[in-house]
Structures are given as C-alpha cells and as structure tokens.
C-alpha cells in the first residue's frame, strides 16, 4: 500500500525549472507593486521621521527617569 501511494505522488521538477518558476513568480509580484508619488513618499518619510523622534524622546525620558529613580533608591 505504501509503494502505491508513492507512485501516485507527482515528481518534483528539476532544480533549474524550480529556479525559473521562482524568478517568474518574483517578476509577477513586482508587477503588482505600486510606486508612490513624490508627494506620498515625502509625507510617509516625514511621518516615519516624526515617529522615530517621538520614540527617541520617550526612551530617553524613561532612561533618565529610571536612572534617577535607581539613584534615589540605592544612592
């Protein structure tokens, strides 16, 4: 029974055919990509920059505050 089920399974294509299929699928996916306009790119970049600055300020504040707390507790 096990030998019969192995004979039914499909044989995998060779390595070069698999690589070709992979490259074809990559090209098909890249055709779906929508390039942003210059205005969209600017505003998304600005949003990311502001978000990173906000997180930097948050982490700096937490570091400073927790450092002062530890010095107050154990200093």
Tokens of 75: 């200093």
pLDDT greater at residue 56 or residue 5 = 56
**Does 3 have pLDDT greater than 70?**
no
- Residue 56: CA atoms inside 13 Å, Cβ hemisphere, count? 6
**Does 69 have pLDDT greater than 90?**
yes
pTM for this prediction: 0.58
**Does 1 have pLDDT greater than 80?**
no
What pLDDT, in 10s, does the model give residues 25-65? 999 999 999 999 999 999 999 999 999 999 999 999 999 99
Distances (CA, A) of 40 to 44, 46, 48, 54, 59: 6, 10, 12, 21, 29
């Amino acid at each position: 029974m096990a030998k019969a089920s192995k004979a039914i399974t499909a044989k995998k294509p060779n390595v070069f055919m698999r690589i070709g299929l992979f490259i074809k699928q990559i090209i098909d996916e890249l055709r779906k990509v929508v390039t942003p306009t210059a205005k969209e790119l600017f505003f998304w970049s600005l949003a990311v920059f502001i978000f990173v600055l906000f997180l930097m300020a948050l982490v700096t504040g937490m570091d400073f505050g927790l450092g002062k707390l530890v010095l107050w507790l154990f200093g």
